[in-house]
Amino acid sequence: MDIKKLQTLVVDALEDVKGQEIVLFDTTHLTSLFDRIAVVSGTSNRQTKALAASVRDKVKEAGGDVIGMEGEDTGEWVLVDLGDMIVHIMQPAIRQYYRLEEIWGDKPLKLGAAKRKSTAEGLEAAAPKSKSKHLAANQEQEDAKPVRERKPAAKKSADAKPAAKKTAAKKIPTGATVKVAVSKTAAADAKAAKAAKAAAAPKRATKAAAEGAAPAKKVIRRIKKADE
């Protein structure tokens, strides 16, 4: 029997008798003796025996092989050997003590709707559910398109003056002589120096005139006559 079908039958059989905390592990990478291990809890001896019987009957009805069963006399830990799969049905205290999940739990398999794919319930669960079109939430909505807001253009008033156009700077040809205007500071200094020079000119003229007006000293030389 296909391993996927076998594990589906086992999980269904355990759920029929209300098995608790069902876990399923892939053990192909750990051992070549079996491919799957299932661990489930039963609250009493009676339930563990009922779980084992449910697994055995379900597999046999589907044409699978049941190699053997162990632990039915006490009911604390019942093991069902299905060849490619081993089922451990344990009471909570025994399960917590031996912790089989830590030994075989490297690759846990997910349970749920996927485990019932081969059954009528699984097909019904996998089928898409029809939605009522009367509800607004179930109606198909068009994808919202981004809206680009444009700023309104500023209106030109009648009194508004046209903006003055900036005059472009004249380009000066290479090698041309450019006259640079004298700065205000330099012009003021030159003007002050000129004024000071003009003020000093009369003083020099007055001094020269005063020196020229002084009487010149006459030197009289006495000429000796020849008779004397």
DSSP characters for 111-135? -SGGGGTTSHHHHHHHSPPP--TTS
Query: Which domain covers residue 50, as residue numbers?
Result: 3-125
Rounded to a whole number of angstroms, the CA Rg of the chain reads 60
Indicate the range of 60-69, 118-127, 155-164, 165-174 predicted with least confidence.
118-127
Q: What is the pTM of this model?
A: 0.51
Same domain, 84 and 189: no
Q: What's the domain count of the chain?
A: 2
Average pLDDT of the chain, as a whole number: 76
Is 109 inside a domain boundary?
yes
Does 80 fall in a domain?
yes
Tell me whether residue 30 is in a domain: yes
* Model confidence at 103: pLDDT above 60: yes
**Residues 192 and 117 placed together within one structural domain of the fold:** no
Q: Is residue 153 one of the residues assigned to a domain?
A: no
Helical packing angle, 45-61 and 3-16, nearest 10°: 140
Q: What angle do CA 178, 179, 182 make, to 5 degrees?
A: 145
| Single-letter amino acid code for the residue at 175 | G
CB 34 within 8 A of CB 87: no
- Amino acid 228: pLDDT: 47
163 within some domain = no
Q: What is the pLDDT of residue 125?
A: 47
**pLDDT score of 209:** 55
Residue 120 pLDDT > 80: no
Q: Which of 81, 102, 125 is the last residue of a domain?
A: 125
In this prediction, residue 195 has a pLDDT band, given cuts at 50, 70 and 90, of: confident
Same domain, 119 and 40: yes
Taking the alpha carbons of 117, 118, 122, 124 in that order, is the dihedral positive or negative? positive
Domain presence at residue 155: no
For residues 9 and 117, state if they share a domain: yes
